Chain A
């Protein structure tokens, strides 16, 4: 299946700091999604991106659809303890199937 690589694999940051993570692919995607997964729960959709270059915000979260259509970025500003979790990107080429990334584990230190 399609492999999406996320980096960094894990992050340990102080509360209040900003966070940046990215997702890259060898293939072009038409849609990018960002999900957050808490322990023992299913992933929850954070942001959806549909056009190359698109920049979309959801509260303190901002995500961008890369110009090359092979990458996407997620930024979290002023992190808080409840931001802890695993962040997954997901990309769609054609059809309705999304391919998920390898995940970025975020730990926020109070």
Chain B
């Protein structure tokens, strides 16, 4: 099966600019996650979608970050305006799990490496 697709792979922007990342999960995967991975650290969850609804966005900096999954398939993550500390790899993951069902773990995409200068 095709994996989780993300684009772009790399992005360099100046602080205060805007940026958007795109994710296409594995076909049929209802749950989609965006993670932020700062260099030298483990991934940190930003937002979790179940189909097109938000399940958990408690760690999303909502003053500058937004995400949507309008048709329950692809998703976009936007940062506006970007700060230097937003430099990180943004990972998208998807899973088959539905609420209340056993969780067999995620499949991650290759990520988008963002550098804010």
User: Which residues does A use to contact B, with CB under 8 Å?
Assistant: 1, 4, 31, 33, 35, 40-45, 48, 50, 88, 90, 92, 95-103
Contacts and interface: CB of A to CB of B under 8 A. Distances in A.
A45 B102 CA distance: 16
B107 A45 contact: yes
B55 interface: yes
A8 to B, nearest CB: 14
Contacts of B48: 96-97
Interface residues of B, number: 30
Contacts of B110: 40-42
Contacts of A96: 31, 48, 50, 55, 95, 97, 99, 103
Contact of A97 (B56, B91, B111, B113): B56
Which among A1, A43, A50 has the highest number of chain B CB atoms within 10 Å? A43
B21 interface: no
Contacts of B106: 45, 98
Interface stretch (B12-20, B38-46, B70-78): B38-46
B93 A42 contact: yes
B90 to A, nearest CB: 10
A63 to B, nearest CB: 12
Contacts of A98: 45, 103, 105-106
A42 B42 contact: no
10 contacts: A41-B110, A42-B4, A42-B91, A42-B93, A43-B43, A45-B106, A88-B42, A90-B42, A95-B56, A103-B42
